[in-house]
């Protein structure tokens, strides 16, 4: 069963009708091909027009869609010889941050991702993609490992944010995030970050301070969730749609602000309608971003990365 978002209800109805007609024609042998074609086209048009002008709040929902491909889908689709590595060497292995060694289009790389999980059991196992300090410390360890062996780092970010827990604070959540950001910035190898779903605040930037930051068309990247922002500034969480709009958290807005480098087009109706196509598109975009960086030596790469971030934020929307 496909999961439909609220604003997709008209599309769901049309697609439901098509499905019904198909079943009827199979059962009764009635030829209704024309009607099926007509309705299919209508549903397609509806889907196209809906997805062409999603609001920031609708994009937030698409970015959080339960069927949206997760970090592990990108690892499975893009990385061969994937060899997961575990642990922060201090306290635990955090399943919210997955990563290890593997090959991307033949090249040995280090991959990292925040993993939300795709069913109840795996969501709980991955703590819904909310990492604890161990997760960020594992990320830092793997980025440093990549540096030692000259391997590019590819990160796939999808998290509502760092885990807000007593244990996480006690073990230095803030320090772990700060060090992970520092590891990204200090890496002597190319680091390509892709925001594939939700880029939630500090928990996202911890793995995304890269040479190139790519974002899927319907992904969102924000300093605070729309709900959190609405609760604080509007004193009403129900104002989340307005907050989403105001925060300028869409890929297109962030590209205009020059905070990200490229927007990756999604299959019609969002990545969840055709995960394989979405994974392929991300692979091509990562390859395109990585290629020119491979020629740069560590000193140039680091200096370039520093300049990139130091230049950031001077842009304003008009």
Partner 1 sequence: MSWLTEFVRPKIRTLLGRREVPDNLWIQCPACQQMMFHTELDKNLKVCTHCGHHMRVTAQQRLGWTFDEGRFTRIELPKVPNDPLRFRDTKRYPDRLKEAREKTQLDDALVVAHGTIGGHRAVVAVMAFEFIGGSMGAAVGEGIVAAAKLAVLQDAPLIVFTASGGARMMEGAISLMQMPRTVIATRLVKDAGLPFITVLTDPTTGGVTASFTMLGDIQIAEPAAEIGFAGARVIEQTVREKLPEGFQRSEYLLGHGILDMVVKRTELAATLARLIGLLRVKEREAA
Residues that bind partner 1 (CB under 8 A): 162-166, 168-175, 177-179, 181-182, 184-186, 201-202, 205-206, 209, 221-224, 228-229, 232-235, 242-243, 246-249, 254, 257, 259, 306, 309-310, 312-317
CB of 168 to partner 1, least distance (A): 7
Cβ-based nearer residue to partner 1, 73 or 211: 211
- Report in angstroms how near the CB of residue 209 gets to partner 1 at its nearest: 4
DSSP string, 250-304: BHHHHHHTTSSSEEEPPPTT-GGG-HHHHHHHHHHHHHHHHGGGGGS-HHHHHHH
Q: Which is nearer to partner 1, 76 or 232 (CB)?
A: 232
Shortest Å, Cβ 67 to partner 1: 25
Nearer to partner 1, 39 or 143 (CB): 143
Of 31 and 318, nearer to partner 1 (C-beta) is 318
User: Least Å distance between CB 74 and partner 1?
Assistant: 22
Give the integer Cα–Cα distance in Å for 63 and 60. Answer: 5
Instruction: For the CB of residue 48, give the shortest distance to partner 1 in the complex, in Å.
Output: 28
CA 279 – CA 71 distance, rounded (Å): 10
DSSP-assigned states of every residue in 44-74:
HHHHHHHHHT--HHHHHHHHT-TTS--HHHH
Q: Which is nearer to partner 1, 7 or 234 (CB)?
A: 234
Of 126, 103, 113, 251, the residue nearest 193 (C-alpha): 113
Q: Where are the alpha helices (DSSP H) in 85-225?
A: 120-125, 133-149, 166-170, 173-186, 201-205
User: What would you report as the CA-atom Rg of the chain, rounded to the nearest whole angstrom?
Assistant: 21
């Amino acid at each position: 069963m496909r999961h439909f978002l609220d604003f997709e209800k008209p599309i769901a109805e049309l697609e439901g009708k098509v499905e019904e007609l198909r079943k009827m024609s199979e059962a009764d042998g009635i030829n209704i091909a024309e009607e099926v074609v007509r309705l299919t086209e209508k549903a397609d048009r509806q889907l196209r027009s809906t997805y062409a002008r999603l609001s920031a709040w609708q994009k937030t929902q698409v970015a959080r869609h339960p069927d949206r491909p997760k970090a592990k889908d990108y690892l499975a689709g893009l990385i061969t010889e994937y060899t997961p590595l575990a642990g922060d060497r201090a306290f635990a292995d955090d399943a919210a941050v997955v990563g290890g060694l593997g090959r991307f289009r033949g090249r040995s790389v280090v991959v990292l991702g925040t993993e939300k999980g795709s069913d109840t059991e795996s969501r709980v196992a991955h703590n819904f993609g909310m990492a604890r300090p161990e997760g960020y410390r594992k990320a830092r360890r793997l980025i440093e490992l990549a540096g030692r062996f000259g391997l590019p780092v590819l990160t796939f970010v999808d998290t509502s944010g760092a885990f807000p827990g007593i244990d996480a604070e006690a073990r230095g959540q803030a320090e772990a995030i700060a060090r992970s950001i520092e590891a990204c910035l200090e890496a002597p190898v190319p680091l390509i970050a892709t925001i594939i779903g939700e880029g939630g605040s500090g928990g996202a930037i911890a793995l995304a301070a890269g040479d190139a930051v790519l974002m899927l068309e319907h992904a969102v990247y924000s300093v605070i969730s729309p709900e959190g922002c609405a609760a604080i500034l509007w004193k009403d969480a129900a104002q989340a749609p307005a907050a989403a709009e105001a925060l300028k958290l869409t890929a297109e807005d962030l590209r205009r602000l020059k905070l990200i480098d490229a927007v990756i087009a999604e299959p019609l109706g969002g990545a969840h309608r055709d995960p394989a196509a979405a994974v392929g598109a991300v692979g091509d975009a990562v390859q395109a971003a990585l290629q020119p960086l491979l020629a740069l030596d560590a000193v140039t790469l680091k200096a370039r990365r520093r300049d990139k971030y130091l230049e950031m934020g001077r842009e304003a929307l008009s």
